[in-house]
């Protein structure tokens, strides 16, 4: 049964971070716990294009994907009191981040390279990690390129060795301490 919380009106809880850090899973559970709607920007993009993320990359390329991502983020940023999980590359666009920050509290979910390798190896849905032999090198390179962008958030949490419940409790603690959340435990 969801616990009773209220989120300060107009503030979304936005989860950013590299692929495989737990944004979608944590986002769904957090939204359920708060009694708020949950949106995944990648799922919304798939729905609007009637293609999977992999198919969008294969058919139209990364540039088209990033343009579609901007449109989806612009729409999601107008929602209220939602929990939003973004794609790993959302931080590459200042426009995306400005839109999300305007109406949201930004939380980065991080993880070790080892945890990301294990988590992303479960599915073949990550177009940027197609070269299996080079996955670790690609992850390290992308993490290095994006590190500063990810840590320009309101809060960051490393999910590598924490349970889902620990991650959610830490996020809820931050939200309460920051005045973004009021209510019972």
Annotated binding site for substrate: 42, 66, 88, 146
Which parts are annotated binding residues for ATP? 20-25, 126
As annotated, the binding site for Mg(2+) includes 24
- The closest alpha carbon to 85, from 30, 123, 149, 152, belongs to 30
Q: What is the spatial distance between Cα 28 and Cα 84, in angstroms, rounded to a whole number? A: 9
CA distances from 113 to 22, 136, 165, 177 (A): 13, 7, 21, 30
For the annotated binding site, the residues are: 20-25, 42, 66, 88, 126, 146
Q: Which of 9, 145, 87, 18 is nearest to 96 (CA)?
A: 87
d(CA 53, CA 164): 25
């Amino acid at each position: 049964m969801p616990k009773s919380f209220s989120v300060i009106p107009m503030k979304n809880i936005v989860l950013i971070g590299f692929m495989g850090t737990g944004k979608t899973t944590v986002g769904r559970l957090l939204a359920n716990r708060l009694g708020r709607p949950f949106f995944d920007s990648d799922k919304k993009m798939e729905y609007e294009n009637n293609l999977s993320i992999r198919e969008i990359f294969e058919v139209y390329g990364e540039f088209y994907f990033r343009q579609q991502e901007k449109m989806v983020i612009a729409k999601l940023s107008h929602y209220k009191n939602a929990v939003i999980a973004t794609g790993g590359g959302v931080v590459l666009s200042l426009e995306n981040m400005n839109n999300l920050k305007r109406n949201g509290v930004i939380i980065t979910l991080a993880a070790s390279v080892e945890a990301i390798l294990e988590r992303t190896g479960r599915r073949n849905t990550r177009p940027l990690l197609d070269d299996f032999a080079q996955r670790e090198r690609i992850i390290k390179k992308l993490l290095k390129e994006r590190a500063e962008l990810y840590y320009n958030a309101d809060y960051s949490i490393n999910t590598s060795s924490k349970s889902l419940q620990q991650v959610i409790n830490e996020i809820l603690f931050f939200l309460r301490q920051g005045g973004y959340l009021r209510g019972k435990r």
